[in-house]
């Protein structure tokens, strides 16, 4: 299974015509492509269940609405110009760090995961864990396979190591983190290739130890 050319075409047209009038006129096409994406989500739930606990997780627990909440946003465009879903035990509202799949034409599609909007409590737990056990995190995210797949860390950083932590530590770059997430982008051709799901799963398996580290830190959750 792969991403259909029609889905990418619809999203490209939506980006060029992001209005309620255009969307209403093309609602039937949206329904078709959303149906195709829903089938993909169903397939991915089964695939992720091979190495994550997905018991009870359904499509509705993974998918995101295309309608934007514009109440508090300067961007008043009514629709997202991508399809997306996230996968974890308990679904996207579980609070667990999950595998986030973002489908957007023009090379903007990606698999991502990590600490994007941590709470103050999570940041405190994270820094404590890095201070005690930073070598475990470095072993994961600095491994050749992880780096070749996801590159270097994304997200905001403090200018200095927070007070109470050693600024000369090997873990200083991780202690300075306000966010810590990784992503791998896919070209439109890669999305449409017959082995896309297989590749996505291989990449997800590479990401799994990083997510396991964060979930154990935040929730004392043991790997599946």
Confidence (pLDDT) at 75? 85
Q: What is the pLDDT of residue 89?
A: 96
Per-residue b/e over 82-115, b at no fewer than 16 CB within 10 Å?
bbbbbbbbebbeeebbbbbbbbbbeeebbbbbbb
Q: What is the pLDDT of residues 192-215, one digit of tens each?
A: 999 999 999 999 999 999 999 999
The 8 Å CB, 24+ separation contacts for 7-12 are 7/33, 7/36, 7/37, 7/83, 7/103, 8/103, 8/105, 8/188, 8/191, 8/192, 9/105, 11/81, 11/82, 11/83, 11/103, 11/104, 11/105, 12/105, 12/106
Q: CA angle, 116 as apex, 191 and 68 as ends, to 5°?
A: 65
Q: Report pLDDT digits (tens) over 130-148.
A: 999 999 999 999 999 999 9
**pLDDT recorded at residue 127:** 97
- Each residue's pLDDT tens digit, 78-128: 999 999 999 999 999 999 999 999 999 999 999 999 999 999 999 999 999
Contacts with 93 (C-beta within 8 Å, 6 or more apart), sequence order: 61
Instruction: List C-alpha distances in Å: 224 to 131, 146, 167.
Output: 25, 20, 34
pLDDT category of residue 72 using cuts at 50, 70 and 90: confident
Give the whole-angstrom CA distance, residue 173 versus residue 164. Answer: 15
Give the pTM: 0.95
The phi-psi region of residue 114 (left if phi > 0; otherwise alpha if psi is between -120 and 50; otherwise beta) is: left
CA 118 → CA 27, 100, 153, 213, distances in Å?
A: 36, 16, 15, 14
Question: Closest by alpha carbon to 45, among 29, 33, 27, 63?
Answer: 63
């Amino acid at each position: 299974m792969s991403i259909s050319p029609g889905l990418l075409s619809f999203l490209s047209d939506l980006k060029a015509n992001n209005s309620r009038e255009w969307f209403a006129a093309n609602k039937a096409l949206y329904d078709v492509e959303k149906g195709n994406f829903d089938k993909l989500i169903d397939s991915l739930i089964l695939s992720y269940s091979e190495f994550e606990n997905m018991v009870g997780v359904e499509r509705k627990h993974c998918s995101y609405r295309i309608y934007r909440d514009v109440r508090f946003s300067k961007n008043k465009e009514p629709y997202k110009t991508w399809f997306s879903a996230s996968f974890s035990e308990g679904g996207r509202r579980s609070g667990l760090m999950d595998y986030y799949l973002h489908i957007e034409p023009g090379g903007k599609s990606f698999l991502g995961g990590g600490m994007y909007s941590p709470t103050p409590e999570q940041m405190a737990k994270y820094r404590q864990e890095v201070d005690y056990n930073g070598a475990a995190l470095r072993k994961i995210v600095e491994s050749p396979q992880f780096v070749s797949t996801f590159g270097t860390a994304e997200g905001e950083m403090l200018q200095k190591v927070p007070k109470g932590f050693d600024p000369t530590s090997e873990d200083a770059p991780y202690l300075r983190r306000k966010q810590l997430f990784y992503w791998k982008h896919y070209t439109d051709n890669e999305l449409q290739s017959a082995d896309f799901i297989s590749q996505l799963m291989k990449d997800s398996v590479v990401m799994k130890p990083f997510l396991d580290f964060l979930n154990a830190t935040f929730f004392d959750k043991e790997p599946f």
